[in-house]
A and B are shown apart, each in its own frame.
Chain A
Amino acid sequence: MSHIRYGRVIVEGQASGPALVSDRPISFLGGVDPETGRIVEPGHPLEGRSVAGCVLVFPTGKGSTVGSYILYRLAKANLAPAAIVNAESEPIVAVGALIAGIPMIDRVDIGGLHTGMPLAVRGRELIVG
């Protein structure tokens, strides 16, 4: 059943796609391969999955600030997530989403979301289902 959750706009925009949900933080530098868009951090629950075209849902970013550039490069190669949803944003992913032009929201309830379900981000709205 479709419903709307409200968050805070980090990067204004709208996009939709299948959810790719991680309950663990993501590091883009070293954690995501910029050539393929796949998550490569050993032992990460999403290891081997591609972020391309997905609404990527995870609690927060981590790692080096150079990770912002990985999102930029993914976008230029058409391998970036369609949108990013964080529980709480931090500078690495926020700056990365901004320079890559990826719509992003945070401070939204990410409980009960699972990989594969249809999601859309529109301004501060997260449309589930």
Chain B
Amino acid sequence: MRLTPEEEALLAGEGGEGARRAMRIVVTLGSIYDAERLLPVESVQVAGVSFRNVGEAGLEFLRDWAAQGARVTVPATLNPAGMDMRDWRRMGISAEFARLQEATVRAYTDMGVTATCTCTPYLVGNVPSFGAHLAWSESSAVCYANAVLGARTNREGGPGALAAAICGRTAAYGLHLDAGRVPTHRVRVRCPVRTPDDYGALGYWVGRWVGGGVPYIEGLDLPPVGASTPLAVSGEEAAAGDTLKLLGAALASSGAVALYHIHGVTPEARALPDLCPPDVAVMDVEDLGPARQALNSDASAIDLVVVGCPHASLTEVRHIAAGIRGKRLRAALWVTTSRPVREAAEAEGLVATIEEAGGLVIADSCVVIAPMAELPYRTVATNSAKMATYALGHAGLKARFGPLEQCLDAAMSGRWPA
């Protein structure tokens, strides 16, 4: 690998021990993938925040790294934590977990990471530009950045992303290079795909087929998307952004997809109409029924309804509030979102509407990474294919998957129709 004189200096420790360790991590990752050089990154999204995941080992490492003087040198935002950082008591989180979670977030902020605590950094101001190189972890955000915005990032792990934030660089391989962005599979959609949960089911099905490939999807009726999409708060473009957020999250959780293209919709597919090579494997999707069946357990009593995986946008919170205004919920309802969206929703009176019905609007956190074993829930209904995919393995919950309206009905009745 060829390094610049500045990079050699960092590797030799001239930027301090913390930066040296970061450079060694980035260079080691590059050497595994035979990268020839490093690239400056525009921003970083750091995963590995929930204390339930990082544990004592991760907390100890982060504290040690901070104590070595490691500081981020590019804008860096943080993935969700294992609890709402302000209102954790309402979630039923123990004081012991809260103390360790606060210490973990503090280790990151000590290094200069902004404690956004969201899986949708692009909805809270970290909006990458087209073609920008990034080092993002959080698989759903990686998919959004690559596909919807046309930025370039691999699926980074937590430590690799943090290292990139500290030295401001990542290794040039995979999705940073044009060759890594060429479609590997063609998906021809032959059935109607309309609602957001249709897109989730489609993503689940395609992800299972393509694994870590780059699918090129034809036959979807969506407006063009790009840099303005995450900034839209109403209308057709906002709806498309919300829909693609759910599609990408599903592709990234049932498979390991980090980039997809949609014919005529996503920026790289619009720029190059012949982007998909003619000789790749082809899949026809005729029916979403099998995907829906695979995402549903046999649970009939519903304890918990989760909307906001990935974190809900303001548009989605508006839909939820409109659906349960004046109603009384039997099951618990968690709307998970980012702190800025919660504050905007509060200003519109949406938080009051949801909480008067008996729901909670939870910021900073997520059911997939919260310490759910400590809480009394056994079943979950969700409109997120990602949540349904991870519910049993990551949260010990049997899942029901369906449209938002059906999930809100389940919150009111405590039942999922047979």
Contact = CB atoms under 8 A, between A and B. Distances in A.
B271 interface: no
A69 B159 contact: yes
A106 B34 CA distance: 13
B195 interface: no
A92 to B, nearest CB: 6
Given A64-B53, A66-B53, A68-B159, A95 B29 contact: yes
B32 A69 contact: no
A95 B32 CA distance: 11
Contact of A66 (B24, B28, B55): B55
B32 A65 contact: no
A120 B158 CA distance: 31
A65 B28 contact: no
A68 B28 CA distance: 13
Interface in A19-37: 29, 34
Nearest to B21: A99
Given A10-B32, A66-B48, A91 B157 contact: yes
Given A66-B158, A95-B157, A95-B159, A73 B60 contact: yes
A3 interface: no
B160 A69 contact: no
Contact of B60 (A29, A76, A95): A76
A76 B59 CA distance: 13
Contact of B160 (A34, A70, A95): A95
Contacts of B25: 95, 98-99
Given A34-B57, A65-B158, A91 B32 contact: yes
A76 B57 CA distance: 10
Contacts of A34: 55-57
B278 to A, nearest CB: 31
A70 B163 CA distance: 17
A11 interface: yes
A72 B137 CA distance: 20
B189 interface: no
Given A10-B31, A91-B160, A65 B137 contact: yes
Interface string A31-51: 000100000000000000000
B149 to A, nearest CB: 23
B61 A94 contact: no
B45 to A, nearest CB: 13
B98 interface: no
The residue in B31, B32, B47 that gathers the most chain A C-beta atoms within 10 A of its C-beta is B32
Interface string B55-91: 1111011000000000000000000000000000000
B60 A72 contact: yes
A107 to B, nearest CB: 10
B364 to A, nearest CB: 19
A71 to B, nearest CB: 9
Contacts of B53: 29, 64, 66
Indicate the member of B21, B47, B53, B159 with the most A CB atoms within 10 Å: B159
Interface of A: 10-11, 29, 34, 64-66, 68-70, 72-73, 76, 89-92, 94-95, 98-99, 106
Interface of B: 21, 24-25, 28-29, 31-32, 47-48, 53-58, 60-61, 137, 157-160, 163
18 contacts: A10-B28, A10-B31, A11-B28, A65-B47, A65-B159, A66-B48, A66-B54, A69-B48, A69-B54, A69-B61, A70-B57, A72-B60, A91-B29, A91-B160, A95-B29, A95-B160, A98-B24, A98-B28
